[in-house]
Amino acid sequence: MRRGLAFGALLMVVVTVVGGFTSVQADGPATVYAAASLTEVFPKVSPSSRFQFAGSNQLALQIARGAPADVFASASPIYTQSLYKDGLVEKPRTFATNSLVLAVPRSNPAKIRSVFDLAKRPKLKLVVAGQKVPIGLYTREVLKRLALLRVLRKAVSQEPDVKGIVGKLALGEADAGFVYATDVRAASSRVTAIPLPRRSQPTVRYEVAIVKGSNNREAALELVADLLSIDGRRELKKAGFGVP
């Protein structure tokens, strides 16, 4: 989406305003720290950027410790807002929403038909994320709303991000796990989704923020502008995300 033009030692810049951000085309790509659930879609939104995908809590900790990120995209506002409060990022913006599903391997060996079956399978192997990871926080919120927190005792592992959960299910190392709807869509040949009751759905909201002190603020502004643009929103929708 970037078309930087160099002439000699001079850089021609183009300024645009998208969604309240001023974007200046830059000489180098932005370094983007982004939630693991954005792994498939972000390179389509900004093919020229450099990405590091992981759990939002891990990325926020790295940024707080001075990691050289230009942009932070989190699967929960908790982490962008915390960094903003500490003066480490500029004001965050919401750019996408998501929903949770119960995922099972395509073969579904435990014969899970609904989330309530989790409590009925004594030998169930459940895989979840740690409680500080956004998907882990949302999972516990779902289970609490359904009075099913006891099924966490059946967890065989606690993964550092949502892709770890999908990987365990795809390899048949677990019977079920909670993931985002977009993750099942991206791995539909290996896992399948079981919808959750509407009353149990948490509010899943993604925020993006430019890291203060970025050495490449122009590229960071451009990435955010791309994300909030018509084309960026189209890519998010195609991947199954909701857009505000």
Q: What is the mean pLDDT of residues 198-219?
A: 96
pLDDT for 203 beyond 50: yes
Sign of the four-CA dihedral 89, 93, 96, 100? positive
In the block, residue with structure tokens 């999908």: 166
Other CB atoms within 10 A of residue 223 CB: 32
Confidence of residue 12 (pLDDT cuts 50, 70, 90): very low
Taking the mean position of all CA atoms in its chain, how far away is CA 201?
Answer: 17
| Cα 88 to Cα 102: distance, rounded to the nearest angstrom | 35
| Cα 15 to Cα 25: distance, rounded to the nearest angstrom | 7
Give CA separation, 16 vs 21, 170, 222, 229, in Å: 8, 43, 9, 11
H-assigned helices in 33-180? 42-45, 56-64, 77-85, 134-145, 162-170
| Cα 29 to Cα 25: distance, rounded to the nearest angstrom | 10
Biggest CA pair distance of the chain = 69
Confidence of residue 9 (pLDDT cuts 50, 70, 90): very low
Q: What is the mean pLDDT of residues 206-224?
A: 96
In the block, residue with structure tokens 């993604």: 206
- What does the pLDDT read at residue 4? 39
Per-residue DSSP letter, 160:
S
Domains in the chain and their CATH numbers? 5-97+206-238 (3.40.190.10), 100-200 (3.40.190.10)
Three-class DSSP category at 224: helix
Looking at residue 4, its amino acid is G
pLDDT for 7 beyond 80: no
- What does the pLDDT read at residue 28? 85
Confidence of residue 27 (pLDDT cuts 50, 70, 90): low
**If residue 126 lies in a helix (H) or strand (E), which one and from where to where?**
strand 126-129
Question: For residue 100, what are the contacts with CB-CB under 8 A and spacing of at least 6?
Answer: 135, 138, 139, 142, 178, 179, 180, 181, 196, 201, 202, 204
Confidence of residue 71 (pLDDT cuts 50, 70, 90): very high
| 96-155 pLDDT per residue, tens | 999 999 999 999 999 999 999 999 999 999 999 999 999 999 999 999 999 999 999 999
Bridge partner residues of 193 (DSSP) = 103
> What average pLDDT is seen over the chain?
90
